[in-house]
Amino acid sequence: RLRGELEMKRMLKQLLNNNSKSSISLTSSRFSEVVLLVGGFCRTRTATPTTVAARGVSSAFTTRSSSRDDGKKSIATSSTASSFSSLDGNDDETANTASSASKKKNKYPSKFDSNEKVNKDFTPNRYQTQEENELKTKQMREVKRKEYLEKIVKSENNRDFQSSDHANAIGGDGTVTKYYENVDIREVSSTQNQYEILLDGKPLKSPKRAQFILPNKLLASAIATEWATQEDDLIRPFTMPLMQLSSTALDHMSDYATFDFHVKKLLEFFDADQAVVAHPSGSELREIQLKTLKKVHDWARREFGEQLNLSSDSIFAQPQPEEVKLLMEKRLRSLSPWEMTCTFAAAAAAKSLLIGLALNRNIIDPEEALKCARVEEDYQIERHGFVEGGHDIDISDLRVRLTAPHALNLILKAKMGTM
- Whether 272 has a pLDDT exceeding 50, the answer reads yes
Q: What is the pLDDT of residues 186-229, one digit of tens each?
A: 999 777 788 999 999 999 998 888 889 999 899 999 999 999 99
CA distances from 281 to 284, 285, 326 (A): 9, 9, 29
More confident residue, 220 or 72: 220
Type and span of the H or E element at 76 = strand 72-76
Q: Which residue type, as a one-letter code, is found at position 364?
A: I
pLDDT given at position 364: 95
pLDDT at 124: 53
Q: Which residues contact 349 (CB under 8 A, 6 or more apart)?
A: 356, 373, 398, 401, 402, 405
Q: What is the pLDDT of residue 132?
A: 79
- Reported confidence tier of residue 156, pLDDT bands at 50, 70, 90: low
Residues 45-62, mean pLDDT to the nearest whole number: 42
Place 8 in a pLDDT band, splitting at 50, 70 and 90: confident
Q: From CA 236, how far away is CA 221, in angstroms rounded?
A: 18
- Residue 106 vs residue 406, higher pLDDT: 406
Backbone angles phi, psi at 40, to 5 degrees: 80, 5
* pLDDT band for position 169 (cuts 50, 70, 90): low
Higher pLDDT, 327 or 141: 327
Section 131-135 average pLDDT: 79
Average pLDDT over residues 174-180: 84
Q: What is the mean pLDDT of residues 350-371?
A: 94
DSSP code at position 129: -
d(CA 133, CA 122): 10
**C-beta neighbour count of 198 within 10 angstroms:** 16
pLDDT of residue 128: 63
**Of all helices (H) and strands (E), which one includes residue 218?**
helix 217-228
Highest mean pLDDT: which range of 23-32, 47-56, 354-363 = 354-363
Residue 17 has what pLDDT? 67
Give tens-digit pLDDT for 369-402: 999 999 999 999 999 999 888 899 999 999 999 9
Q: What is the average per-residue pLDDT within 314-328?
A: 83
Q: What percent of the chain has pLDDT over 70?
A: 65
Band (pLDDT 50/70/90 cuts) for residue 278 is confident
Each residue's pLDDT tens digit, 242-262 = 999 999 999 999 899 999 999
**Which residue would you say has higher pLDDT here, 400 or 72?**
400
Question: Which of the residue ranges 60-69, 162-171, 198-207, 366-375 would you say has the lowest mean pLDDT?
Answer: 60-69
Helix (H, G, I), strand (E, B) or coil at 186: strand
Q: Residue 195 forms beta bridges with which residues?
A: 187, 214
Which of 69-78, 122-131, 187-196, 220-229 is predicted with the least confidence, judged by mean pLDDT?
A: 69-78
Inform me whether the pLDDT recorded for 22 exceeds 90.
Answer: no
- Report the amino acid identity of residue 175: T
Lowest mean pLDDT among 69-73, 110-114, 133-137, 272-276: 69-73
* Residue 1 pLDDT: 63
According to the model, what pLDDT value does residue 307 have? 86
With beta carbons less than 8 A apart as the criterion, state whether 332 and 392 touch: no
What is the pLDDT, as a whole number, of residue 256? 92
**Which pLDDT score, from 0 to 100, does residue 105 have?**
44
pLDDT at residue 176 is higher than 80? yes
pLDDT band at 158 (very low <50, low <70, confident <90, very high): low
- Which residue type, as a one-letter code, is found at position 82? S
Which backbone phi and psi does 68 adopt, to 5 degrees? -100, 130
Residue 157's pLDDT is what?
A: 59
Average pLDDT, the chain: 74
